[in-house]
Amino acid sequence: MSAQTGQNTLEFAKHLDEQDPLAHFRQDFYISPDTIYLDGNSLGLLSKRSEQAVHDLLHSWKTLGIDGWTEGEHPWFYLPEKLGEQMAPLLGAEAEEVIVTGSTTANLHQLIATFYKPKGTRTKIVTDEITFPTDIYALQSQLHLKGYEPNEHLIKVKSRDGHTLNEEDIIAAMTEEVAIVILSGVQYRSGQALDMEKLTKEAHKRGILIGFDLCHSVGSIPHHLSQWNVDFAFWCTYKHLNGGPGAVGALYVNKRHFGTLPGLAGWFSSDKSKQFDMEHELTAAPHAGAFQMGTPHILSIAPLLGSLSIFNEAGMEKIRGKSLKLTQYMMDLMSQELSEYGFTIRNPIDDTRGGHLFIEHPEAARICRALKEEKIIPDFRSPNGIRLAPVALYNSFGDVWRTIQKLKIIMKEETYKKFENKRGVVA
């Protein structure tokens, strides 16, 4: 699809919306009147199903008290496994390989504590220089705990352009000194989607374990983690999965690693049939549940009951298909309408992009403020980046068309100049 002559009209956008098989899911979400929300790659919108799920679990607490752990429609004790089963199709995983637990950072700590086993010359961890900072902080601290100096043992693959990674550079870093590789499935800034299957094969050829941060890919692109033979993965659920602010995260462990004791054990690492025996010798769960630590946060896990039902109805292939069309349409309109205003598209322009676009402009912070004044919600990334995420489940082609028209007016009339070119506390 391309916005050629005659396609840069609201009528054409409406025509695309009329052909959209996912259009009816928009009514499942709370969308503020006259607002175009394009920040679902940071925090997804609330769905009516998620709202109802929270009410349902509050009601179970209200009416059942402590019996809510084992009774009611959604017994709390089994929720992490139940939601893992519902989430597994989005990851191309078996139900027992996915558990909803912890947070992105806590789960990365757990997985590195479990699978990073330096031995002999294999002491190094490979990541990259443009990954999200929390991954770097966690890896540095895990190296310190093992007595290694991060400056020497944390290898950060360099980006050739400051925005994307060359997969051959990653493979070249997989030397005999490397024990484990941690990469993002989709880069948080540029939206580049890595070939996780290829990188996994190359790591395994060299006897290296590999894991992926899927925070910006889960819910936006299909995955086949078990088919690809990925060792482990971790992700948040409040972006494309619409789990709500601070929603409980999740992790994946390939079943060939079942039986590996968790590096950071806790009560909920237990086999559920043994957990209340209160023994001081851990009998770990025989599946991904072994990598839980503490009691699940029931009221923060609740929204996923609703949001995952939407994903499983819509299907990831259809979501991905619409996402690619939305972002392509936005890029096409940018090239037609904004070419004279100094914007640079930094995300991949082919289908190796994820669910958001990343554009740069020297006045990016000001432009984001001007967009918000027009009730268009973007995401600023320092120093001069704007992320725009037209989300397949609740954004329309009409949203994309209106956004570009508003942005053109902002640039033409220079209304952004009334704002300071400075980010807020939260970008």
Q: Is 163 annotated as a binding residue?
A: no
Q: Is 121 annotated as a binding residue?
A: no
What angle is formed at CA 369 by the lines to CA 364 and CA 221, rounded to 5 degrees? 65
Q: Is 260 annotated as a binding residue?
A: no
What are the beta bridge partners of residue 181?
Answer: 126, 210
Q: Is 295 annotated as a binding residue?
A: yes
Q: Is 303 annotated as a binding residue?
A: no
3-state secondary structure of 29: strand
Helix axes 303-314, 316-337, angle to 10 degrees: 80
Q: Is 134 annotated as a binding residue?
A: yes
Q: Is 133 annotated as a binding residue?
A: yes
Per-residue exposure over 25-56, b if at least 16 CB sit within 10 Å of its own CB, e if not: bbebbeeeeeebbbbbbbbbbbbebbeebbee
H helix or E strand, kind and range, residue 56:
helix 48-64
251 vs 224: CA distance, rounded Å = 14
Peptide bond into 383 cis (omega under 30): yes
Q: Is 17 annotated as a binding residue?
A: no
Q: Is 135 annotated as a binding residue?
A: yes
Q: Is 213 annotated as a binding residue?
A: yes
> What one-letter code names the amino acid at 193?
A
Q: For the chain, how are helix, strand and coil distributed in percent, rounded to 5?
A: 45, 15, 40
Q: Is 63 annotated as a binding residue?
A: no
What are the binding residues? 104-105, 132-135, 213, 216, 238, 267, 295
Residues annotated within the binding site for pyridoxal 5'-phosphate are 104-105, 132-135, 213, 216, 238, 267, 295
